[in-house]
Amino acid sequence: MTAFDLPDLVHKIFDDQEVTPDARAILAQPDRQIAVSVPLRRDDGSLAVFPGWRCQFNTTLGPAKGGIRFHPGVTAEECTQLAFWMTIKCALMELPFGGGKGGAQVDPKDLSPLEVERLARGYIGAIADVIGPDRDIPAPDVNTDARVMGWMADEFAKITRRHEPACITGKPVCLGGSEGRTQATGRGALIVLDAWLEREGRKPEDVTVAVQGFGNAGAHFACLAHERGYRIVAVSDSQAAIHDPDGLTPSKLLDYKQKEKELSGALYADSSVKEGNGGEEIAQEDLLALDVDVLVLAAMEDAITEDNAGTVTAPLILEIANGPVTPEADAMLVKDGKVILPDVLANAGGVTVSYYEWVQGRTGERWGAATVTDRLTERMEAIAEACFDRAGDDDIPVREAAYAKAITRIADAISSRGDRSYFAG
């Protein structure tokens, strides 16, 4: 089992909330970690073998839930960390799930579409014994999308010889996916941002935003925020960053990237936001230091560290990526008076709509886009307001308030099954 160290914040909450020793012990290590090898027959006939992992961190509240990513940086340690965050996120959102995460260490952009399909099916074949609608429900993550989830669900059905639409979420709608799932992470982040700024008496049209990361979540957030009236002055992707103080039109950039992707016939777009005829190109690191009202982090982990935290001028940071601010940088930013709307709250729209897809898959119901959006908005607003209230009442950062609510929920569930005080009489 890969060693895992709980963040210092969690230990603080354990002490502040007087979490029982039993709950502390159970939350200290993952329930299950699985390492697999995924053989892939390349188009030229050669064989490549990629390492893969799946971690189910804690299933006290229900089956594990979490994405699958294909990325060169995937490791056992990363999957464990992400599965822990998913555990917190699902508990915070009051979903009937625990936390899971997995992936394969590979750069899928070096593979053909047929090779990616074989990789997706091979990965599911390797972990099929430990997933399913009542055990562990995967979903999309970095470099995996609805099409990849469709392949995975199909492979799981072949292996089990059962039609299991609730086994994997984030699928195409025609294959049992949910309306609104593709936009859910970005939409949920916007709901959280709206709720915070409404408390501050700020209107969208008076707020400038820079978005680091123009992938699925970041791009849809930018488009939806622009529709709400926010001024998106800068965006970046893995290749470049662009800036226009008068405001960009994110939908044009997204349309351009999607069109180029379709024309190339590739699974992954090679085009960049700099080619979308909008804004002046700037250095990617300069985007983090722009004088804007809101800095949105929607790329990868550790975007802001203690080395560059001092360059951030935005008073409000919205975390759409998982773990984009290191603990050291977080402490520096909070000390400097910055407000951080944390990932476990801000990006929870994706797993929430995945839950709605899971419910629809189990019941055979089909919900329209408006129904999904209404239910997502109602839940996200309620949880966000509860976190903001807790942060204000206890004079703590929003991240600590969110973690406290989640850990208390898990700890209560653990204790309800009996702990030392019960069994010792």
Q: What are the residue numbers of the active site?
A: 101
**Residue 186's Cα: distance from chain center in Å?**
10
CA angle 333, 243, 222 (to 5 degrees): 75
Give the Å distances, CA to CA, from 274 to 234, 247, 289.
11, 15, 19
Q: Are 259 and 202 in contact (CB under 8 A)?
A: no
Separation CA 245–CA 362 (nearest Å): 48
Q: Are 162 and 133 in contact (CB under 8 A)?
A: no
Query: Residue 416 carries which DSSP code?
Result: H
- Which burial class, exposed, middle or buried, applies to 110 when counting CB atoms under 10 A from its CB (0-12, 13-18, 19+)? exposed
Query: Residue 304 carries which DSSP code?
Result: B
**Residue 138's Cα: distance from chain center in Å?**
12
Separation CA 352–CA 367 (nearest Å): 14
CA atoms within 13 A on the CB side of 347: 27
Residue found by looking up tokens 């009542």 in the block? 134
CA angle 130, 136, 142 (to 5 degrees): 105
What is the per-residue DSSP string for 3-25? -----HHHHHHHHHTT--HHHHH
Tokens of 316: 């409000």
Q: Are 299 and 212 in contact (CB under 8 A)?
A: yes
One-letter amino acid at 148 equals: V
Q: Are 88 and 407 in contact (CB under 8 A)?
A: yes
- Candidates 79, 56, 78; CA nearest to 131 is 56
221 Cβ neighbours under 8 A, 6+ residues apart: 185, 186, 187, 189, 190, 211, 296, 298, 320
**Residue 128's Cα: distance from chain center in Å?**
23
Separation CA 422–CA 154 (nearest Å): 46
Separation CA 80–CA 75 (nearest Å): 9
